[in-house]
Amino acid sequence: MKKRNLGNSGLEVSALGLGCMGLSFAYGQALETQQGIKLLRDAYDAGITFFDTAEAYGPYTNEELLGEALAPFRDKVIIATKFGFKDGRPNTGLDSRPENIRNVAEASLKRLKTDYIDLFYQHRVDPAVPVEDVAGTIKDLIAEGKIRHWGMSEANADNIAKAHAVQPVAALQSEYSLWWREPEAEILPLLEKLGIGFVPFSPLGRGFLTGAITADTKFDSGDFRTSLPRFSQENLKANQALVEVLQGIAAELNASPAQVALGWLLAQKPWIVPIPGTTKLTRLQENIAATNIELSADALQKIEAAIAQVDLHGARYPEHLQKQVSK
């Protein structure tokens, strides 16, 4: 597995990480514990060293799963987790008060069976707490050796700059894919200027860009996607044109649509590290193979031209969740 550096932080990770949320949370039935442990260890054996979790995934159970699975090789992996919701539950609102940040750090350390967190993200910017105060608390935790680097998620350019001035931000984690390109306008230029790495979540559009989801797909009743406007039957049908474009390009490159989507992301900047998630070993292997795809300038230009012809439909989040995304 190739390696990448997240900006100027000195944090080196595998070129592709693993988003672990779906093992325990959000996409229907959680994996049985031993199945989850096996998948995580298979990912490590395949070269992945960057694992992403959060107290909110479960809540708590995802961190516990990673703690058990990664314990045998803890010093050889980078674990990212997050703080920022009341009681670790997104539906209860935001909480980035310094005392909560400290409490979450201590609890996460125990669940992850470790004495340090490699990368500690603010899950969402809390408008009730100045980002400078958040960064100051993180600075203290770094001095105490409890965390090594910190990051932000779905933060806007102004908040990133303010926080970075107090304690350098190692990485920003936000949605970015061929289905959602908003970060290109302001965020990517700022990250490059400040030397901050970028970790795109949902790089495969929550599974849509793989081609496995159509307007006829029936999601489990506990699947988070049932609440997302993009995944209404009407919008899935309208957005199928994007998948058809990817399928055509993938066929020419002897690759899968998912590999083209990940290859496109990896080609954007050398400090971008996508974190696709999966519960299946075959998908994990398919995603990892994307790191070996070298998209030529002509191929990238063809993708851009084709995607520009597609009119995408549907908001990312329902209104109550959209309010938690920092604009």
Backbone φ and ψ for 325, nearest 5 degrees, come out as: -90, 125
Rounded to whole angstroms, the Cα distance separating 53 from 280 reads: 17
- Are 316 and 225 in contact by the 8 Å Cβ rule? The answer is no
Rounded to whole angstroms, the Cα distance separating 267 from 237 reads: 28
pLDDT-derived band at 327 (thresholds 50, 70, 90) equals very low
- Is the peptide bond preceding residue 59 cis, with omega within 30 degrees of 0? yes
Q: Which amino acid is at 231?
A: F
Q: Which of 57, 60, 121, 176 is catalytic?
A: 57
pLDDT-derived band at 309 (thresholds 50, 70, 90) equals confident
Task: Give the strand pairing for 50-52 and 18-19.
Answer: parallel
pLDDT-derived band at 257 (thresholds 50, 70, 90) equals very high
Rounded to whole angstroms, the Cα distance separating 2 from 110 reads: 31
pLDDT digits (tens, 9 = 90+) for 198-255: 999 999 999 999 999 998 999 988 899 999 999 999 999 999 999 999 999 999 999 9
Q: What is the CATH number of domain 3-322?
A: 3.20.20.100
pLDDT digits (tens, 9 = 90+) for 74-131: 999 999 999 999 999 999 999 999 999 999 999 999 999 999 999 999 999 999 999 9
Rounded to whole angstroms, the Cα distance separating 234 from 160 reads: 36
pLDDT, mean over the chain: 95
Task: Give the strand pairing for 171-175 and 12-14.
Answer: unpaired
pLDDT-derived band at 157 (thresholds 50, 70, 90) equals very high
Residue 118, helix vs strand vs coil: strand
pLDDT digits (tens, 9 = 90+) for 273-304: 999 999 999 999 999 999 999 899 998 998 99
Annotated active-site residue 60? The verdict is: no
Q: Which residues have a Cβ under 8 Å from the Cβ of 80 and sit 6 or more positions away?
A: 17, 50, 51, 52, 53, 117, 118, 119, 120, 121, 151, 171, 173, 199
For the chain, the structural domain boundaries read 3-322
pLDDT digits (tens, 9 = 90+) for 158-209: 999 999 999 999 999 999 999 999 999 999 999 999 999 999 999 999 999 9
13, pLDDT greater than 70: yes
11, pLDDT greater than 80: yes
Model confidence, pTM: 0.96
pLDDT of residue 310: 86
326, pLDDT greater than 80: no
pLDDT digits (tens, 9 = 90+) for 18-51: 999 999 988 888 999 999 999 999 999 999 999 9
Rounded to whole angstroms, the Cα distance separating 105 from 160 reads: 21
